[in-house]
């Protein structure tokens, strides 16, 4: 049993977790909710084992690098981070209906990484630019930020759905089981701050790494430029929150729109714009 098999199975387990949380949302079943939580936690542990095994396999092949160096490995880590942050939120707020708005992101990330024909899933030697001690710190900080923004977007969708129900003055039904709007708004705000801090760390570590690898801290490479655009988007959003009291539907929409910036920075740039980070599309 190799890491590819384990991570492939994880894709199916996250699909099953999504179905379980959908059942919890539709039928308000506490027993299914408990099972969904523990099954998702078990899937997360199983995926962690798969990631560690892939790292070990890299050592056996003589490469010895962390599994964070190509598109497939980054998609795996992206989903892993989403689930880690989601489980924290669920245990903190004790609301399992959050799962149907967040866990699907992890499943889609794993499904794309496992099934997309254009993605190379082999363990390969590092190109010279990636042979640096800054690799882990840069990738980890960026992807914790990306995952937090994915959670904020999921919560934004939840807020908009709940708000639409409130506007129609229908307080019963499925959406009535979701947290109150001020609670959702607060979670969106906190996850945005968390993601912004980590993205800032990712940009800083990336600049230091770039100076080490290419002799300059900033080269206006498309990946760097879009990272900065994404950073400014969240900086302006959070600034407006503090200075103008921006909240509610506006923040919810900005959380959803922000994820589009994140996905283009993470994925779109690699395939649509050539630059120093083009190796990330492999």
Query: pLDDT tens, 39-77?
Result: 999 999 999 999 999 999 998 888 888 898 888 999 999
pLDDT at position 124 is 84
Q: What are phi and psi of 36, to 5 degrees?
A: -60, -45
pLDDT at position 279 is 45
Same domain, 35 and 68: yes
Which has more pLDDT, 126 or 26? Answer: 26
pLDDT at position 135 is 83
Same domain, 157 and 106: no
Same domain, 88 and 50: yes
Domain boundary among 97, 122, 147: 122
45-49, 113-117, 199-203: segment of lowest average pLDDT? 113-117
The maximal CA–CA distance of the chain, rounded, in angstroms, is 63
The pLDDT confidence band at residue 273, using thresholds 50, 70 and 90, is: low
Q: Where are the alpha helices (DSSP H) in 215-248?
A: 222-244
pLDDT at position 133 is 79
Same domain, 118 and 143: no
Reported as half-sphere exposure (CB side, CA atoms, 13 A), residue 61 has a value of 16
pLDDT at position 212 is 79
Same domain, 100 and 139: no
79-83, 144-148, 182-186, 222-226: segment of lowest average pLDDT? 222-226
* Residues 155, 82 contacting (CB under 8 angstroms): no
Domain boundary among 122, 147, 179: 122
50-54, 100-104, 220-224: segment of lowest average pLDDT? 220-224
Same domain, 234 and 114: no
3 state DSSP class of 120: coil
Same domain, 137 and 201: yes
Domain boundary among 122, 139, 168: 122
Q: Measured between alpha carbons, how far is 86 from 152 in angstroms, rounded to an integer? A: 11
Same domain, 104 and 36: yes
Reported as half-sphere exposure (CB side, CA atoms, 13 A), residue 27 has a value of 11
The pLDDT confidence band at residue 173, using thresholds 50, 70 and 90, is: low
Same domain, 85 and 158: no
pLDDT at position 52 is 95
Residues 146, 154, 117, CA angle at the centre, nearest 5°?
A: 60
Q: Please give the tally of structural domains in the chain.
A: 2
Residues 253, 258, 262, CA angle at the centre, nearest 5°?
A: 155
* DSSP secondary structure code for residue 127 in this structure: P
Q: Where are the alpha helices (DSSP H) in 61-98?
A: 71-93
Range of the domain at 96: 1-122
User: What pTM did the predictor assign?
Assistant: 0.92
User: CA 75 → CA 5, 70, 82, 115, 177, distances in Å?
Assistant: 16, 9, 11, 12, 31
Same domain, 144 and 173: yes
Same domain, 103 and 148: no
Q: Is the pLDDT of residue 213 over 50?
A: yes
């Amino acid at each position: 049993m190799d890491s590819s098999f384990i991570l492939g199975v994880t894709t199916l387990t996250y699909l099953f977790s999504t179905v379980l949380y959908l059942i919890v949302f539709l039928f308000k079943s506490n027993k299914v909710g408990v099972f969904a939580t523990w099954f998702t936690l078990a899937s997360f542990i199983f995926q962690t084992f798969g990631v560690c095994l892939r790292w070990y396999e890299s050592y056996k092949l003589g490469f010895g690098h962390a599994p964070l160096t190509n598109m497939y490995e980054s998609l795996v880590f992206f989903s892993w981070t989403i689930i880690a942050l989601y489980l924290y939120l669920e245990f903190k707020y004790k609301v399992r209906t959050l799962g149907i708005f967040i866990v699907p992101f992890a499943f889609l990330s794993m499904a794309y990484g496992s099934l997309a024909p254009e993605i190379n899933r082999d363990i390969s030697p590092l190109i010279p630019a990636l042979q640096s001690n800054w690799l882990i710190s840069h990738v980890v900080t960026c992807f914790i930020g990306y995952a937090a923004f994915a959670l904020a977007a999921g919560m934004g969708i939840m807020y908009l759905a709940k708000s639409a129900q409130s506007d129609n003055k229908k307080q019963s039904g499925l959406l009535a089981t979701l947290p109150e709007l001020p609670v959702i708004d607060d979670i969106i705000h906190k996850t945005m701050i968390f993601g912004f801090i980590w993205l800032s760390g990712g940009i800083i570590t990336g600049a230091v790494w770039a100076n080490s690898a290419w002799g300059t801290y900033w080269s206006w490479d498309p990946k760097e430029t879009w990272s900065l655009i994404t950073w400014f988007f969240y900086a302006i959003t959070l600034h407006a929150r503090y200075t103008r009291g921006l909240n509610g539907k506006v923040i919810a929409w900005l959380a959803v729109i922000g994820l589009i910036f994140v996905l283009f920075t993470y994925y779109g740039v690699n395939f649509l714009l050539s630059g120093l980070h083009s190796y990330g599309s492999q």
